Amino acid sequence: MPAQVYAYAESNDVANSVGNYIIKHQNAALQSGETFKIALSGGSLGKVLKKALIDNKDIAAEVKWDKWEVYFSDERLVPLDHEDSNYGLFNSLVLKNLPAHIVLPKVYTIDESLVTGKDGQVQDVDLEKDLEIASKYESNLPKGAKFDVILLGCGPDGHTCSLFPGHNLLNERSKLIAYISDSPKPPPRRITFTFPVLENATTIAFVAEGAGKAPILKEIFENKHTKLPSKLVNDLTTGVQVSWFVDNSAIEGVGIVPSKY
């Protein structure tokens, strides 16, 4: 199933389109099951989620938060209120902005009590604990590690989740959640979904905005031999439907024909 690319001139339109995509898949999931299982990423996605799920009142009214189970496709090994925490980002931009009457979703975070060291740095930390954090997070994954939606970012180096170009975690097949202590992007200590989880999702959507993303999107969409992590996800052949939500500047000069969602 080839990936679909949806492109817009304005950042708000990208966010609204992501919001409509989420609602469509939420409703589909709730027709056949009790909960909507979504995995989020960090970085620039946080602001997109705020625009889509909080600021757009039409979309906000359709979110069935009490039925959501929220996970993170990757997480930095820092306290949950640390500025580098992907949960912390979602909490401050989205959860804290929900009206008081809303029943909050079930959010699966790392076990903060196991986090050692300061700021996710590698010095003087207990890497055994990082393994424990990853294993514990894995034990909380939904049955069959099956997600309705996984929302991903694509770093300027082509990384996604905390799966970095050339890293041996790209070949991890036995663990569903792995820890990494040498992330080239700070902080170095993180946990991440591995490919078996991504391959098993119903749908995956990348969100990428800004001219800074154009060179890597060119590589992903024009170089069929590249082994960049985002390209490997883009090309999954396991039946997962992959979409991209981008602004026009992110695909400037990239040889693709985008659609409107």
Residues near ligand LXAUTJHC, by CB under 6 A: 41-45, 74, 86, 152-153, 155, 162, 185
User: Are β-strands 68-72 and 74-76 bridged in parallel, bridged antiparallel, or unpaired?
Assistant: unpaired
Nearest-approach distance from CB 233 to ligand LXAUTJHC, in angstroms: 11
> Does a cis peptide bond (omega within 30 degrees of 0) precede residue 187?
yes
What H or E segment, with its residue span, contains residue 91?
helix 86-93
CB closer to ligand LXAUTJHC, 29 vs 45: 45
Q: Please say whether the dihedral angle defined by the alpha carbons of residues 113, 68, 247 and 74, taken in this order, is positive or negative.
A: positive
Beta bridge mates, 147: none
CB closer to ligand LXAUTJHC, 62 vs 172: 172
Nearest-approach distance from CB 108 to ligand LXAUTJHC, in angstroms: 15
CB closer to ligand LXAUTJHC, 34 vs 247: 247
Nearest-approach distance from CB 78 to ligand LXAUTJHC, in angstroms: 11
Cβ pair 256, 242 in contact under 8 A? no
User: Are β-strands 106-107 and 4-8 bridged in parallel, bridged antiparallel, or unpaired?
Assistant: unpaired
Nearest-approach distance from CB 42 to ligand LXAUTJHC, in angstroms: 4
CB closer to ligand LXAUTJHC, 155 vs 188: 155
